[in-house]
Amino acid sequence: MDRGGSNEMRQGLHIYDTHTHLGAARHSGRQFSLEQMLASMDRYGVDRSMLIPFPVVEDYRQTHDAIAAAMRAFPDRFAGAACLNPFVPEQEYLDEIRRCSEDLGFRAIKLQPQYQALNPLSARSDFLWKAAVRHKMPVIVHTGAGAPFALPSLYIMPARRFPDLTIVLGHSGGGLYALEAIVAACVCPNIYLELSSLMPHHIREVLSHVPASRLMAGSDVPESLETELNKIFTLEIDDADRREILWNTPRRVFDGFTA
């Protein structure tokens, strides 16, 4: 099977899955290999995926190296995000983010406050936001389960303190807090929303307030990919907006495209 590029485009649209995990999760036992990722991308017509480590792993350097190897083997198909426990010694955290950015070519940092309970209102979280700005890496934050630090509204504060920072709220608050995610995106132009795990009526509500140019799609796990994509494909919106959500927004946010 040719896995070097995109296969048939669904309804003529490219698809960027901005939320996937490669490797093994120590906390849940979940595990996804590169072969599984490619197979599900091929099956559902996904052109490019953001590979993110699970929030708790055996060895974060090894996980980052595996993501980098996937990016080297399939540069068009994969982007990478760095994710490690923010409570390792601060210099160790910063050194790894620098390595992921400069040596491995990663495009984002992931913060998973459900397992990495860093208070985004505290100045003690500034090292993370500053590293993201320094390396021009958007921060993808898991939001939803894991309150209080996973509440979307809390990320208004770093987004305002660091206007050059880009924050992507993963799961848009996960249904229960979708309204908070809408507020956060409405008051901060540098906050974007990733729509995985929302119900279709939540997505409609998001779209009534937040432009498609600030929205993106994600699967989280291969088992959810088909459902997550169907939610976007069945939305009654213009194809131009669908193109923004599925491709253009993440290309601008993560890959530096200006279109």
Question: What are 141's two structure tokens?
Answer: 């934050």
Q: What is the DSSP letter of 217?
A: -
Instruction: Please check whether residue 216 is in contact with residue 30, taking contact to mean a CB–CB distance below 8 angstroms.
Output: no
CB-nearer residue toward Zn ion: 30 or 134: 30
Nearest distance from C-beta of residue 220 to Zn ion, angstroms: 4
Kindly state the smallest distance separating residue 21's Cβ from Zn ion, in Å. 6
- Closest residue to Zn ion, Cβ-based? 220
Q: Which of 90, 108, 127, 223 is nearest to 169 (CA)?
A: 108
Minimum Å distance from CB 19 to Zn ion?
6
Decide: 51 and 22 in contact? Cβ < 8 Å. Answer: yes
Coil, strand, or helix at residue 172?
Answer: helix
Using the contact rule CB under 5 A, the part of the chain among 27-35, 88-96, 179-187, 218-226 near Zn ion is 218-226
Footprint on residues 17-56 left by Zn ion (CB under 5 A): none
Pick the piece of the chain touching Zn ion (CB under 5 A) from 29-37, 186-194, 219-227, 245-253: 219-227
96 near Zn ion, rule: CB under 5 A: no
Separation between Cα atoms, residue 119 and residue 113, nearest integer Å:
8
Contact present, 132 and 94 (Cβ < 8 Å): no
Least Å distance between CB 71 and Zn ion? 19
Could you please report the per-residue DSSP string of 13-79? B--EEEEEE-EE-TTT--EE-HHHHHHHHHHHT--EEEEE--SS-S-HHHHHHHHHHHHHH-TTTEE
Task: Point out which span in 32-40, 103-111, 175-183, 220-228 binds Zn ion (CB under 5 A).
Answer: 220-228
Of 158 and 218, which CB lies nearer to Zn ion in the complex structure? Answer: 218
Judged by beta carbon, residue 44 or residue 54, the one nearer Zn ion is 54
The amino acid sitting at 152 is: P
- Binding-site member from 220, 222, 242, 244 for Zn ion (CB under 5 A): 220
Mark the segment that binds Zn ion (CB under 5 A) among 1-9, 77-85, 214-222, 233-241: 214-222
| Site residues, Zn ion (CB under 5 A) | 220
